[in-house]
Structure 1
């Protein structure tokens, strides 16, 4: 990994590690803002697995723990692409719950939430870039396409060779029948 990529990943992940740790330790301050979102998500979680926690505090802690873990993975470059996708996924409910500027009547608070919403949107874009960054190596799509193309060429070659050998065999058999013997 290049120094620029290492630095950029560490910088991008910093906010997730720090805020994730802070929110894990003190989730109660986020409960009022998160409750409308968690109330919508709880029935879906119950359908997936009834053993999953659905209370707001537990969901905030789970999201925070995921952010810390995925943030550290992104910062260290270990499974960085999947970690970036996971972080992008955790950012969606955080942004919707924490910065609903469309609900604010106070212009100052509306502007503040809109700025934070746009900041999170920028982080989301950066995470998408990190999720697609192959560090200069061919991605899975290119590798699969290249492998398919290589396989097609190999099959084509095998078919041409088989045809050529069949023609030679037919000529040999025809020549053998014509010879007196």
Structure 2
């Protein structure tokens, strides 16, 4: 199953590496579409950290760089699950800024943006599956539950052993008192 996972990760990440690189190199073409989204995000960024650059072009470049980096990580299988989550996070503002079909009056433009919006939702679903994929190994939830169960059994064994040893000690003490000495 590993070759299928590797191929699927590479195929899923390809769009992010290519478009992220293009957006990093030439962010100016996206500024008009991204401006409404970045204007809404800017106050939140300024609250969290005042030194973060908040101009639209810089935010597009950062998003592109993150997409390239996380896309390459997903494609190579290095930190694939966190990379998929990061890509999912970058996809949300990209989709909202790039394909707001609800704002289009022209039916052809509306239909085109709606198709791209739904395509991005499909990519988001694929990224969420990639983020949840454990590669056939038990997931964190199972391992945690298994470890808790193992620890619980170890504690129960220790309690039984302590009780048994206490009973033996009590019997030994009672026997020692009865012996003449």
Same fold (TM over 0.5): yes
How many residue pairs get aligned? The number is: 181
Q: What are the superposed Cα offsets for residues 93-136 of structure 1, whole Å, 9 maximum, x if unpaired?
A: 00011111111111111111111111000100000010111101
- CA apart distance, 1:172: 1.1
Q: Give the equivalent residue in structure 2 for 1:155.
A: 155
Q: Give the equivalent residue in structure 2 for 1:81.
A: 81
Q: Give the equivalent residue in structure 2 for 1:2.
A: 2
Structure 1 segments of 4 or more deviating over 4 A? none
Instruction: Output the CA distance in 2 between the equivalents of 1:96 and 1:68.
Output: 19
Q: Give the equivalent residue in structure 1 for 2:68.
A: 68
Instruction: Output the CA distance in 2 between the equivalents of 1:125 and 1:133.
Output: 12
Q: Give the equivalent residue in structure 1 for 2:19.
A: 19
Q: So what's the TM-score if we normalise by structure 1?
A: 0.97
- CA apart distance, 1:46: 1.0
Q: So what's the TM-score if we normalise by structure 2?
A: 0.97
- CA apart distance, 1:179: 2.2
Name structure 2 gaps, 5 residues minimum.
none
Instruction: Output the CA distance in 2 between the equivalents of 1:12 and 1:72.
Output: 11
Name structure 1 gaps, 5 residues minimum.
none
Q: Give the equivalent residue in structure 2 for 1:104.
A: 104
- CA apart distance, 1:138: 1.3
- CA apart distance, 1:180: 2.5
Higher mean alpha-carbon deviation, 115-124 vs 102-111, is at 102-111
- CA apart distance, 1:171: 0.9
Q: Give the equivalent residue in structure 2 for 1:142.
A: 142
CA RMSD between the two structures: 1.0
Q: What are the superposed Cα offsets for residues 44-74 of structure 1, whole Å, 9 maximum, x if unpaired?
A: 1111111111110000000000000000000
1:40 maps onto 2:40 in alignment: yes
